[in-house]
Amino acid sequence: MNKKIICSITLGLAISTLSGFAEKNLGAAVPGSEVSAEDIESSSSSASIYDKIWDTAKFIDNDDANVLQSLAFTGRLQGDAYSFQSEESSYEDVEWRRLRLGFKAKLFHDFTLHAEMDGDMNDVDEDSWDAFYGRLTDAYVGWSSSKAAKVKVGKQSAGFTLDGATSSKKLLVPERSIVAENLWFTTEYFTGAGLSGAIEDWSYKVGGFSASKENEFGHFESGYFALLSAGHKIGDKGSLRLDYVYNDPDYTSDYSVGSKDLEHVVALVYKQMINEKLGLWADVAGAKGIADQSHGSDLLGVDIMPFYNVTDSLQLVLQYAGVTSLDNQADVKMSRYASKNADERVETAHNLLLGFNWYLYGHKLKWQNAVEYNFGKGLASTGDDYNGYGVTSALRLSW
């Protein structure tokens, strides 16, 4: 196994050992089996060492204040070590997957200000701000007086499909599935307005966004897309949600388009904790392509992901995801790191993954590992098939 992978796994084991020491001697809390994997967070009647560390990011926390109730540092740091092999090539590396820095403030009890930026920690000179700064991600004003309605105006995540609507901080595997990779808009953060909420057992989200891929705020000269979503609870620990997106990009403008070459996207998303330990996430998604674009064929994808909470902190995950072009065109991307082996698209992609997660402080600090097999039918350049496997070890830290 590659030395970089071994170093990452060794680091993860060291952190896990420290976590066990903290739990035993300092009262650190780990997720309980009664908590859904979607919402795993730490909980403890007495403050643990993790609580104390994360509390240092809260600069103001006073619900009785008239103007500013809270001000906190927000962000995430995510690193990957990976090695992927195929019959023809191999690719391995260690990289910082994401670095985001920002703040979130609550004002006048009902308003939220949230701003974050992407930073690049890979191959950046210490004096080069232009090389370090990537883009604004969240940059919005929010308003909400109850769970029934929450308004966001500005740059924000436009989430649909199973993994596309899941924050990278709360994924159960190191990377989003190939269903999200192909049918969701991976630019993720778009300028627009959204309204969401929950009323009894129902939830909803509606929004309109610029299709622009600008690093700061987008321009509607690039077109727009609309997002509609409705969900319903299934028992105490389950939900079923239907997402729909209408996309109308304008490729003739002077601004780059951040949405995909898809006109309509529909996704049915299912989440369920079957019992205290066993859960299942899944979605089926279809899209109608914009036929006159280079990757505008119709797509169909499925993602099935059962998981099992072995202990309060250890979780096993099995995932199958597949995407096919209904027009038999090489318009389908394989998984993120398999694509580095074969930097081209295929007619059909399959991904089978086995992983385990070690939750040290819920989703705020975790170590994720995955072994996966990738098959791609009909490479764009040759028409040959792709067969390959890989291993990923990832550390995830967030505030």
Question: Residue 321: pLDDT above 50?
Answer: yes
Cα–Cα distance measured from residue 141 to residue 193, given in angstroms and rounded to the nearest whole number: 10
DSSP string for residues in 6-40: HHHHHHHHHHHHHHHHHHHHH------TTS-GGG-
Question: Residue 224: pLDDT above 90?
Answer: yes
pLDDT tens digit string along 100-149? 999 999 999 999 999 999 998 886 666 676 778 899 999 999 999 999 99
pTM of the model as a whole:
0.87
Residue of higher predicted confidence among 317 and 89 = 317
Give residue 121's pLDDT.
84
DSSP letter for 54, please.
H
Query: Cβ(160)–Cβ(245) under 8 Å?
Result: yes
pLDDT tens digit string along 184-209? 999 999 999 999 999 999 999 999 99
Give residue 89's pLDDT.
85
What percentage of the chain carries pLDDT values higher than 90?
A: 76
SS3 50: helix
Cα–Cα distance measured from residue 61 to residue 274, given in angstroms and rounded to the nearest whole number: 37
CATH number at residue 392: 2.40.160.10
Average pLDDT over every residue of 264-273: 98
Question: Residue 45: pLDDT above 70?
Answer: no
Question: Residue 28: pLDDT above 70?
Answer: no
Give residue 280's pLDDT.
98
Question: Residue 10: pLDDT above 70?
Answer: no
Task: Output the 3-class SS for 217-259.
Answer: CCCHHHEEEEEEEEEEECCCCEEEEEEEEEEEECCCCCCCECC
Cα–Cα distance measured from residue 39 to residue 201, given in angstroms and rounded to the nearest whole number: 18
Domain count, the chain: 1
Residue of higher predicted confidence among 272 and 86 = 272
Query: Cβ(117)–Cβ(138) under 8 Å?
Result: no
Task: Output the 3-class SS for 111-163.
Answer: EEEEEEEEECCCCCCCCCHHHHEEEEEEEEEEEEEECCEEEEEEEEECCCCCC
Average pLDDT over every residue of 354-374: 96
SS3 315: strand
Q: Which domain holds residue 107?
A: 3-398
Average pLDDT over every residue of 35-55: 60
Residue of higher predicted confidence among 41 and 178 = 178
Q: What is the mean pLDDT of the chain?
A: 88
